[in-house]
Structure 1
């Protein structure tokens, strides 16, 4: 139920342009590596807002692959170890392997793409790592502060700088690569827990970020990483089978909701998020004020809305339109090392939640004597 509800929420978020399309992630990318036709790094371009402690430039980039251990390269956007072969942890051999893996990934995806930018990217990875050039172009101080950040490959198209991933031919190549399904015979197909369709199960799901107390690199809601957790010969997340797309959708929806920090609540050590099925933030505004946070509404509006909804009536005021029949979801997650625990999941109509809130305030109201005028 939780996963399918999150997949439904993903579709709503995409329709509102709040979540990236399938195969892409909204990622903070503060720098662009500008290359010319022969793959030479000619400029390092700062991107976004550098006014705060950390630069911010959230853009859609090809989806990140799960990286818990080992060498796993990403397409068109990564850190200096993978894109530039820079040794930041005192392991030159591993840095060389990371750069080589990144080059192999790009050549595999761009094979057959007839585009100057694609040729430039392949030429970039055929050269020796260019991290020293990047350091010289940025300056020692900026370079030192950037080695843990993301860089994106950009192309100098005759004086016009473009992110390589924006080009239609590159997007088509990436979509074909990411959406591919490994060859599998009929016996390898299983029923998805989400849709019930026959699918090839995704073994590792993307990480969830933004849960207080969990690993900053991300944690998993669904994870089977030891034989003791597995059964019937299934490996890893084959034990909770869902397709690659379904795994992407529920994790992207979760990450998008958690990234909206003004909407995330804390109850003790739990991180709580909520959403209405229709995607209207007015429901969350009312709920935020129930939870003691400012939802931007006056107390009178919240009280009037609660009373109307508790009686099964819709509430309309200016641009606020609330239905008692709208489905509303509340999910609480707790950190547990590299995993996340579901503390509770509540789903009901918003009218049912409003009735419970209204009943709570009536039950805890103090009945005062007639001579007591205290409000």
Structure 2
């Protein structure tokens, strides 16, 4: 199903490379004239942030590199193209260069092209030594950069000249004919599938989804791709499509935890264009991009964005994670563009919670997940949590229990209830309540005076007691939250008796008006608390955090009354 969907995506993208070619970043181009004389070295790189990014070109498809020696046609590393090295073994480098020259001679014998002849002349003449005088030479040699050639006066590379292009377009290597497992049509099977590049954490040279590289994986003594025969056309189509989706320039990929996530639809869809903006971090030069995308999504029922046939277009989301020399499928989600849009809207509705005016109204997946990770680092996000979270969003399921536990655990460890953590807890608890027979009251966006849950009420009380302490003793280095939050949120009975006694000492320092305000507030909160709970389960620990957060927000919100929220 995954490979079939990728093949369909390839067929609807005429701008993707056709069989026999690939898109390759090439930082340096050696320009020569028709006589094989050196003209210049062109640096194709441009600055992207603090890094130089090479321009990508359409080139003949490279061979699959292994530990052996195999040269690519008309482009390769400096060691292969020029036979020089600063770090490698000289003997091996000469063998690599000989392989490149041998492949070049084969091509030159098949067609008479001025570009191919010029390269042959250049590589066999002293002109090659003139490269050493170029300012870029030491960088090219030391980094073993990828090189290719251009004939002076041409706009295209030598490998893109019409005669050369036609040669590679018509080239084919015959293998046994089979029924392709992807298309169901007769085709010659592909023995080695092209490596997939761009998966975060995987090998830079690429890894495979389909691979049989051990004897134990073989069936009936068949080798490599013969174990699960895929036709050459289908193999090229799915690998080209996936590499395109995972490329640096792609607008159809996001990072979800450790999973490099790509998405596409069978036909052009508004969701395909906005999916990354909805879930990913907005760029620094356009911080409002996510907000605009989500607002447009909420307005889609009014604007009729998905009211036509496009709403029934199949939509796919694929999460990939590294697994040694292979790539593992972390999650694979399918649905319609309209259906997924509706579930995404519900996700942001569930997350909605009162927040400070300087905080963003919507949070990206990254911000939500790192709020549950130790030290706020993405590498500390549990491997499966991100995938489970994305699945729950796009399939309309309850959020994973591990997400709620992670948010509660991080609050207890850091004693800080932030907006992302409060949003996650609210969303997790409300989705659980919708799916269960419990009569538990749904958590509102802002302070809810009618919520009598013991966890929610004790959380509000804890916030009130902390506020009293802060106003009575300004400039404290540590409040009761820093000292007692863990115990108060899990075993309230062990700390609240002492905190209620301590509160009287703090109230005595306040002016009469503030004193009456806090006494009235505590009386209202305590009205439904007969005894402090001995223990709060995970869900009620979450409600404790929400109660605390709601009450704190109410203290600092002047434009809205501190009563029942939305």
Q: State the partner residue of 2:33.
A: 36
Q: What is the DSSP-based 3-state SS (H/G/I as helix, E as strand, rest coil) of the residue aligned with 1:284?
A: helix
Give the C-alpha shift of residue 120 in structure 1: 1.7
**What is the CA deviation profile of residues 222-244 of structure 1, one whole-angstrom value per residue up to 9, with x for unaligned ones?**
11001100102221122121122
CA spacing shift, 1:68–1:112, aligned 2, 3 Å? closer
Give the C-alpha shift of residue 264 in structure 1: 2.3
| Conservation of the 8 A alpha-carbon contact between 1:13 and 1:279 | no
- Match status 1:100 vs 2:90: no
**What is the CA deviation profile of residues 48-72 of structure 1, one whole-angstrom value per residue up to 9, with x for unaligned ones?**
4257532421121111221132111
CA spacing shift, 1:231–1:114, aligned 2, 3 Å? same
Q: State the partner residue of 1:302.
A: 297
The 1-side partners of 2:280 and 2:96 are apart by 47
Q: What is the DSSP-based 3-state SS (H/G/I as helix, E as strand, rest coil) of the residue aligned with 2:296?
A: helix
CA spacing shift, 1:118–1:139, aligned 2, 3 Å? closer
| Conservation of the 8 A alpha-carbon contact between 1:308 and 1:315 | no
Q: State the partner residue of 1:150.
A: 146
Unaligned runs of 5+ in 2: 283-288, 351-429, 432-441, 451-560
Q: State the partner residue of 1:217.
A: 205
- Match status 1:118 vs 2:105: no
Q: What is the DSSP-based 3-state SS (H/G/I as helix, E as strand, rest coil) of the residue aligned with 1:44?
A: strand
The 2-side partners of 1:83 and 1:50 are apart by 26
Q: What is the DSSP-based 3-state SS (H/G/I as helix, E as strand, rest coil) of the residue aligned with 2:189?
A: coil
CA spacing shift, 1:170–1:288, aligned 2, 3 Å? closer
**What is the CA deviation profile of residues 81-132 of structure 1, one whole-angstrom value per residue up to 9, with x for unaligned ones?**
11101124331111111111111112222323122222222333444793x4
Kindly tell me the number of residue pairs found equivalent between the two proteins: 353
Q: State the partner residue of 2:268.
A: 279
| Conservation of the 8 A alpha-carbon contact between 1:270 and 1:332 | yes
Give the structure with the larger helix fraction: 2
Q: State the partner residue of 1:163.
A: 157
| Conservation of the 8 A alpha-carbon contact between 1:44 and 1:138 | no
CA spacing shift, 1:129–1:205, aligned 2, 3 Å? farther
Q: State the partner residue of 2:13.
A: 13
The 2-side partners of 1:59 and 1:143 are apart by 18
Give the C-alpha shift of residue 340 in structure 1: 0.1
CA spacing shift, 1:336–1:351, aligned 2, 3 Å? same
Within the candidate set 201, 204, 209, 2:189 is matched to 201
The 2-side partners of 1:257 and 1:43 are apart by 34
Give the C-alpha shift of residue 144 in structure 1: 4.7
- Match status 1:327 vs 2:304: no
**What is the CA deviation profile of residues 294-330 of structure 1, one whole-angstrom value per residue up to 9, with x for unaligned ones?**
565344321132x579xxx7547xxxx8832011000
**What is the CA deviation profile of residues 186-240 of structure 1, one whole-angstrom value per residue up to 9, with x for unaligned ones?**
xx32211111122221111111111111111111111100110010222112212
| Conservation of the 8 A alpha-carbon contact between 1:85 and 1:129 | no
Give runs of aligned pairs for residues 1-375 of structure 1, distance below 5 A: 1-14=1-14, 17=15, 19-49=16-46, 53-127=51-125, 130=128, 132-138=129-135, 141-144=138-141, 147-156=143-152, 162-177=156-171, 180-182=172-174, 188-259=176-247, 260=249, 263-280=252-269, 282-288=270-276, 291=279, 293-294=281-282, 296=290, 297-305=292-300, 307=301, 314-315=305-306, 323-357=310-344, 361=349, 364=431, 366-367=443-444, 372=563, 374-375=565-566
The 2-side partners of 1:358 and 1:161 are apart by 48
**The 10-residue stretch of structure 1 (113-122 or 74-83) with the greater mean CA deviation from structure 2:** 113-122
**What is the CA deviation profile of residues 10-59 of structure 1, one whole-angstrom value per residue up to 9, with x for unaligned ones?**
12233xx3x22332222111211123334343432223425753242112
Bigger RCO (CA 8 Å, 6+ sep): 1
CA RMSD of aligned residues (A): 2.9
Give the C-alpha shift of residue 173 in structure 1: 1.7
Give the structure with the larger strand fraction: 1
Q: What is the DSSP-based 3-state SS (H/G/I as helix, E as strand, rest coil) of the residue aligned with 1:333?
A: strand
Unaligned runs of 5+ in 1: none
- Of the two, which has the highest radius of gyration? 2
| Conservation of the 8 A alpha-carbon contact between 2:78 and 2:140 | no
CA spacing shift, 1:275–1:41, aligned 2, 3 Å? same
The normalised TM-score by structure 1 is 0.83
